[in-house]
Amino acid sequence: MKKVKCVIWILLCTLTVCACQSQEKQSPTDTVDAFMKALSSMDGETLDSLYAAEEPLESMLDSETDKKLVSAVFAKLQWEVGAQSIEEDLARVHLKITAVPYRKMVQAYETHVKENLESYRAKYSDMDDGTYQAAILEDRLSFYQAYTETVTTEVDMDLVYQEDRWIISHCEGLSNALLGESDV
């Protein structure tokens, strides 16, 4: 019986050591994918842990309305993580981003409102200011969610290995890609 317990103990120790050694560090492509997932779900805490920004990314949005509108746009993001290159503690990951062309969508919404101005006046004329603002936001969010045009842009994300993990340090053209402005 002691031999069986000893063999089981040795097997368990071996499995534990093997399992610990097989847990590899997160690759640069894993970091970029996690960043894009956090961006599309507006997970500010995860975004800040993966991106070396001077100030928290979420603090750049001034109001709850801004957060809701950006969330509606970023929820539509699609991406494809491509090749990575690693040189010591620096890495570069190629990324293809498909996003809604934000400016074009805003212009389309403004045109939509102008074309339907009379029905908007009838619909919203009896509302107090707070109810009116909430209704307009809801209308705008519905329009954004229904908007289907997209633009695909390719960018390269630079990462640096710090404190036993990869952190995104720079990405030329990321803002334009996220806003569907590929030709800017």
pLDDT digits (tens, 9 = 90+) for 14-60: 333 333 333 457 999 999 999 999 999 988 889 888 987 666 666 66
Least confident of 11-20, 84-93, 163-172, 175-184: 11-20
pLDDT at 131: 87
Q: Are 181 and 103 in contact (CB under 8 A)?
A: yes
On the question of pLDDT at 2 being above 80, the answer is no
What's CA 169's distance to the chain center, in Å?
16
pLDDT digits (tens, 9 = 90+) for 62-73: 678 888 888 899
* pTM, entire model: 0.77
Q: How many CB atoms lie within 10 A of CB 66?
A: 11
- Whether 90 shows a pLDDT value over 70: the answer reads yes
Q: What is the mean pLDDT of the chain?
A: 82
Element (H or E) spanning 91, and its range? strand 90-99
What pLDDT shows up at residue 17? 34
Q: Which domains does the chain have, with CATH numbers?
A: 27-101+150-178 (3.10.450.50)
Residue 147 has a pLDDT of: 95
